[in-house]
Chains A and B, each alone.
Chain A
Amino acid sequence: MPAVSKGDGMRGLAVFISDIRNCKSKEAEIKRINKELANIRSKFKGDKALDGYSKKKYVCKLLFIFLLGHDIDFGHMEAVNLLSSNKYTEKQIGYLFISVLVNSNSELIRLINNAIKNDLSSRNPTFMCLALHCIANVGSREMAEAFAGEIPRILVAGDTMDSVKQSAALCLLRLYKTSPDLVLMGEWTSRVVHLLNDQHMGVVTAAISLITCLSQKNPDEFKTCVSLAVSRLSRIVSSASTDLQDYTYYFVPAPWLSCKLLRLLQCYPPPEDGAVKGRLVECLETILNKAQEPPKSKKVQHSNAKNAILFEAISLIIHYDSEPNLLVRACNQLGQFLQHRETNLRYLALESMCTLASSEFSHEAVKTHIETVINALKTERDVSVRQRAADLLYAMCDRSNAKQIVAEMLSYLETADYSIREEMVLKVAILAEKYAVDYSWYVDTILNLIRIAGDYVSEEVWYRVIQIVINRDDVQGYAAKTVFEALQAPACHENMVKVGGYILGEFGNLIAGDPRSSPLVQFNLLHSKFHLCSVPTRALLLSAYIKFINLFPETKSTIQEVLRSDSQIRNSDVELQQRAVEYLKLSSIASTDVLATVLEEMPPFPERESSILAKLKKKKGPGAVSVNELEEGKREGGELNGGGERGGDSSRSGALSLLSLLSPSQHPPSSQCLMLHSRAPRMVALRRSHCSSVDLHGFTCLFE
């Protein structure tokens, strides 16, 4: 049961809360609330000045109503009045109200800041803390302007009480986060660093959060904190469980402080000073050793605290990336956790190993766990754990295990959560491309992706497969054959039709010899999907059809018949109609030479940074590609450009890439289409389309 006399009871408030809880419906609740609001409003407006207790009670009621989810548009003035009460509870409620219902009225702000100022200079530590808490909770720019100068002084003044220092440190942190330009470095900065040596552990705990944040923005200014942090950490790690008294948590000495110290150290490279570095390495080894010792307590709090320090230490080891011994030990420790009974630890181990996987020292060690990770992917019941396993597979993928990993990821994709499919698709596409030795495997993989998760295959992915097929002579026939087979499936995804339409349009001739994939068969196959597709796909198919006319003159009449039909030349969509009309005309008036020139096979694309990598990076998950990988992708991408660029194309502008990340909606629809005018135009066929639109028909005509 609760202890008695927790200060004043505020009976009225308790009754009100009870009433609300007793309301049997939402309407009843709203009615009761409105009744109370009316009551409070009248009391606030009333002639009789309210005493402090009543004011506090009503302000508290308003706060309660607000926290229930209803809007409150009055009471701020009364709350501000409470701030100047000399009764602590009244002040407290006043501060709570204004911290929760932040108001941007400038008059109120002025009054609030005044009250805060008074409390800050009151020399009463409890009042000072109240004021500091309020500033930390609100953290507005106006408060920063008013107090950003004062708080550092309070923080480092010799006569400030410990509890006030703690609040001041975190208050300053909040102000720095929201208005960094108003917190100026000064004399206080070196003294703040020395708070790391304070004998009061609470002060150190609070100060270190501030120092960590400041170090990230001003590393040089605060670099003396590194050796102090190492000493502190060393003392904690080597202390017996009774040394730190109340800062020991379930037999773990100062876990919060230890984690914060390890976090601070991650803001800096490994210490240059040999002694400091030695001490730190010793610390890390001790932490790793302790993980192997039998636990001092069966309670989960003990193991969580201990492991929290362990994981942070591993983060630091990974961040340094310079001690092979420690890295391998970290990897082994994580490997143990991968099979732990506790789901939390398996989750964290998978997450942590992702970062380890990118270090050259530990990459091989991470790979040894591949079977465990694959097993996790298949058998973990918790989807968040499965997702971490998928991320880790992606991170540990290299030439030696790519086929295995891609196969596992594809099979996982078949049953994966919809929310993660797009990211998985991007990752599989990247891996398939990056580690493809045999490009028919790559083509198969992408087509599988479309088959399994067609909706989530973004344009970057299927543009890329087409680009690669165009650039590599050796896989063109295979691609045509595979895509032809894939299209036979009764319900194939629209993206498959797009890819199929394009590839058959370019390379259908490579399989036309076989009677099962003769030109007419190919055409009929494509056309059977025509009416099921969206406009952009149909536009693409129309382009494929005109290419067929060029490739297979025997199909000319059949295709012209289709183009001539009302549903094409009178199609309500302008693009489709225009294409149908123009292609029809082109096919009838152009001589075979002209047609062959205009519809010449696409030349290889120049190599560009893979947009897929960039798109994945934008998704920003853990396991997302680091900038280094992007660079690597750029370099490796050079391998793909099989044929060298066929020359003479003045239109190839570096700026606009077909595979640029700009969404198609940012470009005008392919307006650079054939434009037939009644007078005979002098056509200058360009080899590359200037717009990143869905359609890859790839040529533009300019009329001079």
Chain B
Amino acid sequence: MQFMLLFSRQGKLRLQKWYVPLSDKEKKKITRELVQTVLARKPKMCSFLEWRDLKIVYKRYASLYFCCAIEDQDNELITLEIIHRYVELLDKYFGSVCELDIIFNFEKAYFILDEFLLGGEAQETSKKNVLKAIEQADLLQEVSTEVYYHHCKATAIGVHHRVFGLSL
């Protein structure tokens, strides 16, 4: 995998993971163009498209688009399931994850991703093991006050972002 982008329907980038070295300028350009291309796709279209010399695999979960760029020889369907597995992990971790969770806990989204994928390849495909690793890390943290962002979430402006609707 070369990179993974998560963005909202308004084109706001919520997560960007780059597995190839690129300059900031190139990253911005790619993001801009690709977001536009994917957002222009209609709902019934297939989840794959060719873009520059890469294959793009994308899927929408509620208000977020998950978009991966893979190389010519990579397997598209399994990439779709990588996306799904990542959503499952987020869902289990946050409990019915929605876009706001990723906005307010963006660093956690990156940590979880790193336990699952590393260098663009699947590192651990057992859901249990990935979650265990994250929980262990969490246990190492200082126990502290309740997460303040509950409050922020309740008062945040904007549309109620529906949960991803995973029935697991």
Q: Does B118 contact A (CB under 8 A)?
A: yes
B121: chain A residues at CB < 8 Å are 170, 173, 206, 209
Residues of A152-211 whose CB lies within 8 A of B: 163, 166-167, 170-171, 173-174, 177-178, 201-202, 205-206, 209
Residues of A within 8 A of B28 (CB): 69
The contact of B95 among A3, A137, A167, A382, by CB within 8 Å, is: A3
A344 touches B47 (CB 8 A): yes
Cβ-defined contact, B45 with A382, below 8 A:
yes
* Interface stretch (choices A252-260, A491-499, A570-578): A252-260
Q: Is the CB of B119 within 8 A of A170?
A: yes
Evaluate contact between B156 and A18: CB separation under 8 angstroms: yes
**Given that A133-B114, A137-B114 are contacting pairs, would A6 and B147 also be in contact in the complex, using a CB cutoff of 8 Å?**
yes
B128: chain A residues within 8 A (beta carbon): 246
Say yes or no: B49 contacts A202, CB within 8 Å.
no
Judged by a CB distance under 8 angstroms, whether B39 is at the interface is no
The CA of A255 and the CA of B50, in the complex, are separated in Å by 24
Chain A interface residues toward B at CB < 8 A: 1-11, 14-15, 17-18, 21-22, 60, 63-64, 67, 69, 71, 87-89, 92-93, 96, 126, 129, 132-133, 136-137, 139-140, 163, 166-167, 170-171, 173-174, 177-178, 201-202, 205-206, 209, 246-247, 249, 254-257, 259-260, 263, 301, 304-305, 307-308, 311-312, 343-344, 346-348, 381-382, 384-385, 387, 620-622
B21, B123, B141: residue with the most chain A Cβ atoms closer than 10 Å: B123
Q: A67-B106, A136-B119 are in contact. Are A387 and B50 (CB under 8 A)?
A: yes
Q: Does B142 contact A (CB under 8 A)?
A: yes
The residue from B46, B93, B150 contacting A385, defined by CB atoms under 8 A apart: B46
A to B CB contacts below 8 Å, 30 in the list: A2-B95, A3-B95, A4-B147, A9-B144, A15-B152, A21-B103, A21-B157, A22-B157, A60-B107, A136-B118, A140-B21, A163-B124, A170-B121, A171-B118, A174-B118, A246-B127, A246-B129, A249-B81, A254-B125, A256-B122, A256-B125, A263-B73, A301-B84, A344-B46, A344-B76, A344-B80, A347-B46, A347-B48, A620-B53, A622-B72
CB of B101 within 8 A of CB of A2, answer yes
Inside 8 A of B85's CB, which chain A residues have their CB?
A: 249
Contacts A92-B107, A206-B118 known; 7 new A-B pairs at CB < 8 A: A6-B93, A17-B149, A69-B28, A304-B84, A343-B45, A347-B46, A384-B46
Most chain B CB atoms below 10 A, which of A87, A96, A177, A308: A308
Closest chain B residue, CB of each to CB of A19? B152
Assembled-state Cα–Cα distance A157/B103 (Å):
40
Contact A308 B95 (CB under 8 A): no
Which B residues are CB-close (under 8 A) to A249? 81, 85, 125
Report whether A166 and B96 are in contact in the complex, using a CB–CB cutoff of 8 Å.
Answer: no
Query: Is the CB–CB distance between A17 and B123 below 8 Å?
Result: no
Asked whether B10 is an interface residue with its Cβ less than 8 Å from the other chain, the reply is no
| Complex: A34 Cα to B146 Cα, angstroms | 29
Whether the pair B77, A308 counts as a contact (CB closer than 8 A) is yes
Contact call B125/A311, Cβ cutoff below 8 A: no
Q: Taking A93-B107, A126-B137 as contacts, is the C-beta distance between A344 and B77 under 8 angstroms?
A: yes
- Shortest CB-to-CB span from B85 to chain A, Å, is 8
> B119 and A96: CB pair below 8 A?
no
Contacts of A384 in B (CB 8 A): 45-46, 48-50
With both beta carbons as reference points, the residue of chain B lying nearest to A14 in the complex is identified as: B149
Q: Is there an interface contact between A381 and B45, defined as CB atoms closer than 8 Å? A: yes
In the bound complex, residues from chain A placing their C-beta under 8 Å from that of B46 are: 343-344, 346-347, 382, 384-385
Nearest CB of B to A210, in Å: 8
* Minimum-distance CB pairs A-B, first 8: A308-B77, A7-B141, A8-B144, A88-B140, A174-B119, A170-B118, A343-B46, A11-B148
- In Å, the complex CA distance between A308 and B125 comes to 15
> Would you call B81 and A308 a contact (CB within 8 A)?
yes
- Select B137's contact among A64, A88, A257, beta carbons within 8 Å: A88
A33 to chain B, nearest CB (A): 15
Q: How many Å lie between the Cα of A130 and that of B24 in the bound state?
A: 24
Q: How far is the CB of B67 from chain A (nearest CB, A)?
A: 15
Asked whether, in the complex, the Cβ of A256 is within 8 Å of the Cβ of B78, the reply is yes
Nearest A-chain residue to B141, judged by Cβ: A7
B 110-138 contacts with A by CB, 8 A? 110-111, 114, 118-119, 121-129, 133, 136-138
Question: Which residue on chain B has the smallest CB distance to residue A303?
Answer: B77
Contact A170 B123 (CB under 8 A): yes
How many angstroms between the C-alpha atoms of A336 and B163 in the bound complex?
A: 36
B49 contact set on A, CB distance < 8 A: 384
- A256 surroundings in chain B (CB, below 8 A): 78, 81-82, 122, 125
Chain A residues within 8 Å of B24, by CB: 71
- In Å, the complex CA distance between A255 and B84 comes to 13
Whether the Cβ atoms of B78 and A4 lie closer than 8 Å is no
Q: Are A247 and B44 in contact (CB under 8 A)?
A: no
Which B residues from 26 to 71 make CB contacts under 8 A with A?
28, 42, 44-50, 53
Residue of A nearest to B108 (CB): A6
| Cβ B145 vs Cβ A8 within 8 A | yes
* B77:A21 contact, CB within 8 angstroms: no
In contact, B81 and A3 (Cβ under 8 angstroms): no
Q: Which of B42, B93, B106, B114 lies at the interface centre, i.e. has the most chain A CB atoms within 10 A of its CB?
A: B114
Point out which of A87, A171, A173, A304 has the most chain B C-beta atoms below 10 A from its C-beta. Answer: A304
Smallest Cβ distance from B147 to chain A, in angstroms?
Answer: 4
**Which chain B residue lies CB-closest to A178?**
B21
Contact of B75 among A129, A132, A139, A308 (CB under 8 A): A308
Please indicate the chain A residues that have their CB under 8 angstroms from the CB of B105 in the complex: 2, 6
Chain B residue at minimum C-beta to C-beta distance from A203: B124
Q: Nearest Cβ distance between residue A699 and chain B, in whole angstroms? A: 42
Instruction: Contact check, B146 vs A9: say whether CB atoms are below 8 A apart.
Output: yes
Given A18-B156, A170-B119, are A257 and B80 neighbors across the interface (CB < 8 Å)?
Answer: no
Chain B residues, CB < 8 A from A382: 44-46
> Contact at B48–A9, with CB atoms within 8 Å?
no
How distant is B156 from chain A, measured CB to nearest CB, in Å?
6
List A contacts of B13 (CB < 8 A). Answer: 67, 69
Q: Contacts A17-B103, A343-B45 hold; do A205 and B124 have CB atoms under 8 A apart?
A: yes
Q: Quick one: which of B1-32 are within 8 Å of A by CB?
A: 13, 16, 19, 21, 24, 28
What's the minimum C-beta distance from A349 to chain B, rounded to whole angstroms? Answer: 11
Chain A residues whose CB sits within 8 angstroms of the CB of B138 once the complex forms: 6-7
| CB-defined contacts of A4 to chain B, threshold 8 Å | 146-147
Q: How far is the CB of B37 from chain A (nearest CB, A)?
A: 11
List CB contacts (< 8 Å) of B80-108 with chain A.
80-82, 84-85, 93-97, 101, 103-108
Smallest beta-carbon distance A172→chain B, Å: 9
Q: Closest chain B residue to A6 by CB distance?
A: B147
Assembly CA distance A88 to B135 (angstroms): 12
Closest to A63 in B: B107
| Chain A, residue nearest B110 (CB) | A96
Q: Which residues of A contact B48 (CB under 8 A)?
A: 344, 347-348, 384
> Given the complex of chains A and B, what is the CA–CA distance between A171 and B21 in angstroms?
15
Q: Which residues of B have CB within 8 Å of A71?
A: 24
Tell me the smallest distance from the CB of A237 to a CB of chain B, in Å.
16
